[in-house]
Chain A
């Protein structure tokens, strides 16, 4: 199976120049990704990775990047965090339609993880909702990779939890 996903990293201050990093990524087996180096201090890899499962695809990619650039810090795995426009694009409907769907099913539509001037969702629950509740044909690959990307993004933030309050907070919000 081939899985398509993006891993985006923040580079450490002392990291070598972009050319060297790209060469190191090639050496480490990331030649199944396009490497984006257009933003200072960032590097993004759009993988098309052959693997037995979405989990294996993302984990092996993370390992490869770690080997090439040990101190690069993961910012985000995609597809996961998405706004309405992104979701609409992925599913192939207009943003208006997606918005209508959300508003008219306010009670069952997955809650966003942030609401403000922009709103953000984890993609996987929305795709699952669209498939189960609205009858959309969602590509199985996309669903699988978005679930794993969500695991990665949530795990990445978990170090921020502080042990003394963790259990009490979990009991209230999880």
Chain B
């Protein structure tokens, strides 16, 4: 299970170039699509790990982007359910982007009442 990560080139985290420059594809099609979506939104993907294939990094990575812990999200090499994992990753990206947009569009940073 842990050995099937095709993204992994070495045990340690390595920064790779953007996808088209040669990031190896994720073996699961759905997850690969989610990773491309993340890259399109400016997220950086690093590969490395055993159970984990790597991580994706939020381009904003600041308290304003509302990603919180998920500013850096782990990517499994063999997730329990590839479709679900892809959805989770996509949601992490979209939550960040959407909140970013609404925050700037509305200019309304007011807290809860």
User: What residues make up the interface of A, taking CB atoms closer than 8 Å to B?
Assistant: 2, 8, 18-19, 22-23, 25-27, 29, 31-39, 42-44, 46, 48, 50, 83-85, 99, 117-120
Give, as a whole number of angstroms, the nearest-CB distance from B6 to chain A.
16
Contact of B74 among A27, A37, A50 (CB under 8 A): A37
- Within the assembled complex, what's the spacing in Å between the Cα atoms of A43 and B68? 10
Q: Does B9 contact A (CB under 8 A)?
A: no
Q: Are A22 and B92 in contact (CB under 8 A)?
A: no
Q: Are B84 and A118 in contact (CB under 8 A)?
A: no
Does more than half of chain B's interface fall in helix, strand or loop, or is it mixed?
mixed
B68: nearest chain-A partner, CB-CB: A39
User: What residues make up the interface of B, taking CB atoms closer than 8 Å to A?
Assistant: 2, 13, 48-52, 55, 58, 61, 67-74, 76, 78-81, 84-85, 87-89, 91-92, 111-113
B89: nearest chain-A partner, CB-CB: A34
Q: Are B52 and A38 in contact (CB under 8 A)?
A: no
Q: Are B113 and A31 in contact (CB under 8 A)?
A: no
Q: Are B70 and A44 in contact (CB under 8 A)?
A: yes
Q: Are A26 and B72 in contact (CB under 8 A)?
A: no
Hey, which chain A residues are within 8 Å of B91, CB to CB? 46
B63: nearest chain-A partner, CB-CB: A39
Contact of A43 among B69, B79, B89, B112 (CB under 8 A): B69
Contact of B49 among A23, A39, A46 (CB under 8 A): A23
Hey, which chain B residues are within 8 Å of A119, CB to CB? 112-113
Q: In the complex, given contacts A31-B51, A32-B79, what are 20 additional A-B residue pairs having Cβ atoms less than 8 angstroms apart?
A: A2-B84, A19-B13, A19-B52, A23-B49, A23-B51, A25-B51, A26-B52, A26-B76, A27-B51, A35-B73, A36-B71, A36-B73, A36-B74, A37-B55, A37-B69, A46-B92, A48-B87, A50-B80, A83-B112, A117-B111
Q: Are B70 and A118 in contact (CB under 8 A)?
A: no
Hey, which chain B residues are within 8 Å of A29, CB to CB? 80
- Within the assembled complex, what's the spacing in Å between the Cα atoms of A39 and B61? 10
Hey, which chain A residues are within 8 Å of B74, CB to CB? 22, 34-37
- Within the assembled complex, what's the spacing in Å between the Cα atoms of A36 and B57? 10
Hey, which chain A residues are within 8 Å of B51, CB to CB? 22-23, 25-27, 31
- Within the assembled complex, what's the spacing in Å between the Cα atoms of A83 and B112? 6
- Within the assembled complex, what's the spacing in Å between the Cα atoms of A55 and B2? 29
Q: Are B76 and A46 in contact (CB under 8 A)?
A: no
- Within the assembled complex, what's the spacing in Å between the Cα atoms of A168 and B87? 48
